[in-house]
Structure 1
């Protein structure tokens, strides 16, 4: 069985807001690589339970970036971008809290920003086929 069929075999589409597909992609800024590596193992089981998908559906990315203010290089608070298919507000709130709590604990950060970007399933392609 090819990977796309194998991956699709565990999906159950309940409603437009409860899609549990091969998502999300999570990008971290203002964190160190080793912190993101650690977060990838800690967040996977917690978020998988929250959105009812398998742990191997997550992609974690460390984005090396530099922040500037008024012509000076500055440090920033952790910024987490979650790209995923639409889910209910309660699930999004739960995931935001899980991510915030874990990032705060590992980065010793007072502030953490989590931004959700909702992707249109018809515009998301895997191996040339949209969801």
Structure 2
């Protein structure tokens, strides 16, 4: 993780810049070069009813790292691809949430929304208990100042 899917580029072209790309991207992202997965996806483009060359495109699937790192990754990819003789290419990012990404059946992280909801539920339970105690204390205080007649009427 991250996974980089190259379309419209040959295996040989990606191999030519792959190692230097992995080294530079790992420094930008803050991961080991071996954590990056580069895949060349073989596609067939059809335009005007005929087979046509696929447009150079890279999809980066990862855990979001913020705009600054995303911009640096896109510039790095562009520099390597266009530096290899490709006249233009596009890069798109697909972000996963750690709670929705599994390895060996285990999620990479907790869902922050679920953790927040659990904390709110705990706060709500505490507030309910506080309110029940306050109502009981208020009722006891009010009962102490009532006349015997009124208290007997309320019991019935």
Quickly name the TM-score band, shorter chain normalised.
0.7 to 0.9
Runs of 4+ in 1 over 6 A off after TM superposition: none
Partner residue, 1:36 = 14
Unmatched runs of 5 consecutive residues or more in structure 1? 1-22
Residue 126 (1) aligns with residue 121 (2)? no
Residue 61 (1) aligns with residue 25 (2)? no
- Pairing partner for 1:83 from 61, 78, 82: 61
Residue 113 (1) aligns with residue 90 (2)? yes
Deviation string 1:16-41 (CA, Å, 9 cap, x unpaired) is xxxxxxx2000101111111222321
Q: Following the alignment from structure 1 to structure 2, what is the Cα–Cα distance between the partners of residues 46 and 80? A: 16
Q: Following the alignment from structure 1 to structure 2, what is the Cα–Cα distance between the partners of residues 70 and 34? A: 28
Give the greater-gyration-radius structure (CA).
2
1:81 and 1:117 in contact (8 A); partners too: yes
Is the helix fraction higher in 1 or 2? 2
Given the two structures, how large is their TM-score scaled by the length of structure 2? 0.66
Q: Following the alignment from structure 2 to structure 1, what is the Cα–Cα distance between the partners of residues 6 and 102? A: 23
State the number of aligned residues. 108
Q: Following the alignment from structure 1 to structure 2, what is the Cα–Cα distance between the partners of residues 59 and 73? A: 28
1:68 Cα offset (Å): 1.2
1:77 and 1:109 in contact (8 A); partners too: no
> Could you say which structure has the greater relative contact order, defined with CA pairs below 8 angstroms and 6 or more residues apart?
1
RMSD over aligned Cα, in angstroms? 1.1
Q: Following the alignment from structure 2 to structure 1, what is the Cα–Cα distance between the partners of residues 49 and 13? A: 28
Q: Following the alignment from structure 2 to structure 1, what is the Cα–Cα distance between the partners of residues 17 and 97? A: 26
2:43 and 2:54 in contact (8 A); partners too: no
Q: Following the alignment from structure 2 to structure 1, what is the Cα–Cα distance between the partners of residues 8 and 54? A: 6
Residue 103 (1) aligns with residue 103 (2)? no
